[in-house]
Each structure stands twice: as structure tokens, then as C-alpha cells.
């Protein structure tokens, strides 16, 4: 059967809990909510909601899988390769395989975005 | 290099055009915007924005690939197997492989949603 995670408002969903990252990762103020993934037995992709606190950033990453991102709240800057771009609500970012990337919150509210990855 | 499709407002994005469906498909009032897909050379997944007019509906579908959906605007009903559920802003729907499904607009504004599929 299909699965619905109802939106509760304030970027929270029924049946989904925010998760932090272990402190050894080189990131700051990042939480992740797995909206669709292995718990839903999704064989092909995962859909996550990321939130980065003001002043926070994701780790400087480079890996074989790609990302599909849409910003839902806040203001950020994304590093793609050697260039940085401002991003805000609705902007769609495609990070291809093996591209260096990092997301930073440059505003004063949380930077929230959806992020698609292939099932790993 | 990564790709950014900037949001222009009104559920339109730079570099992305709305596309209709051929009239022989059993759907009504549906447009699709390919935000990430083969044009971005995305090897693993695609991210699309669907819009269904008031009174419109997607085709009654059943197929091997799965869908990950988040509603961005409007009110709808989704058929999952033999059950229907009301959906609105922020609700996340996972349609697993081979599940019968159909989305209907039951409101008076467009029903807009993001939809992830594996690369086909």
C-alpha cells in the first residue's frame, strides 16, 4: 500500500522525526528528515527534507551519487564545483555525480530544502 | 557542472517549459514541468512539477516504477490501491511499484505537486 506522511505545518511531517548527524562530520546545524526512503521500502530513490540553521552549513562533499534539490524556505549559498550561487524559495539545484558541493545558510531563518538521491 | 533552475514565481522556473500530454491519454487538465531529468543528464532519477486544473485528473495508472510526491499547492484526492485520501500542501505520498494510483483536483485552484521517479 502507498504511504502518506501528512504535513503538520512548520516543516514537520507525521511519522517522520528530525535526525542529527554524528559530530565528527564537518557540518554545522544540519538536521535531516527522511520523507521517503528505506523505511518506506522505496527501491529506487530517497526524498529527504534538510534544514540548516542560520550560520550553519553542510559538509563539503564529493561522491558518486547525484542530488536533486528544491529550496522550500530561507536563503542560502550553494557551492557547485568552484562557483557559488545564491538560492532561495523554489530554486532547483541539480548536483551531478562527482561534483564538489556544499550548502550554507546565509539568512536569519532556517534554510530548508528537499533533496532527492538515488537509493544507495 | 551543476545546474540551477531559478524559480520565477507562480510555479514557473527558468529554463523549464510546461508540457501537455497527448489527447489519447485518459487524463484531463494536466501539465508537467521537467525540473531535473534527461536534459540535465541525470542518470538516476527525475524530478517533475505536475499541475492539475480544477476538475482535472491524472490517468489511472499502474506501472513498475514508483513515485515520490509532495503537494505544493491546492487540494486533491489520491487513489492508492482501492482507497482515496485527501491531500494538501506539504503532504508526502509514496506510491510503491505496481500500486494503482490516480490524482484528482478537488479544489478551485490548481493542484501542484513535485513528483520523483527513477530514471526510466
- Model confidence at A61, pLDDT cuts 50, 70, 90, reads very high
Residues of A in contact with B86 (CB under 8 A): none
- What does pTM read for this prediction? 0.96
Task: Give ipTM to 2 decimals.
Answer: 0.96
Residues of A in contact with B42 (CB under 8 A): 66, 68, 94, 96
CA angle B13, A65, A43 (to 5 degrees): 90
A7 is catalytic: no
The pLDDT score that the predictor gives to residue A25 is 79
- Inform me whether the C-beta atom of residue B7 falls under 8 Å from chain A C-beta atoms: yes
Nearest to A91 among B7, B85, B117 (CB): B7
Residues of B in contact with A7 (CB under 8 A): 71, 88-92
Could you report the per-residue pLDDT of B57-72, keeping only the tens digit for each?
Answer: 999 999 999 999 999 9
- Model confidence at B108, pLDDT cuts 50, 70, 90, reads very high
- Inform me whether the C-beta atom of residue B32 falls under 8 Å from chain A C-beta atoms: no
CA distance A93 to B21: 26
Does the structure show a pLDDT above 90 at A66?
yes
What lies within 8 Å, CB to CB, of A56 at 6+ separation is A27, A28, A29, A30, A104, A105, A111
Amino acid at each position: 500500500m502507498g504511504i502518506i506522511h501528512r504535513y503538520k505545518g512548520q516543516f514537520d511531517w507525521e511519522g517522520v522525526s528530525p535526525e542529527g548527524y554524528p559530530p565528527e562530520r564537518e557540518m554545522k546545524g544540519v538536521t535531516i528528515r527522511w520523507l521517503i526512503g528505506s523505511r518506506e521500502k522505496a527501491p529506487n530513490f530517497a526524498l529527504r527534507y534538510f534544514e540548516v540553521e542560520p550560520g550553519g552549513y553542510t559538509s563539503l562533499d564529493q561522491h558518486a551519487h547525484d542530488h536533486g534539490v528544491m529550496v522550500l524556505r530561507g536563503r542560502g549559498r550553494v557551492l557547485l564545483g568552484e562557483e557559488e550561487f545564491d538560492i532561495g524559495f523554489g530554486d532547483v539545484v541539480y548536483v551531478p555525480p562527482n561534483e564538489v558541493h556544499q550548502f550554507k545558510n546565509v539568512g536569519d531563518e532556517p534554510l530548508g530544502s528537499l533533496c532527492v538521491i538515488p537509493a544507495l
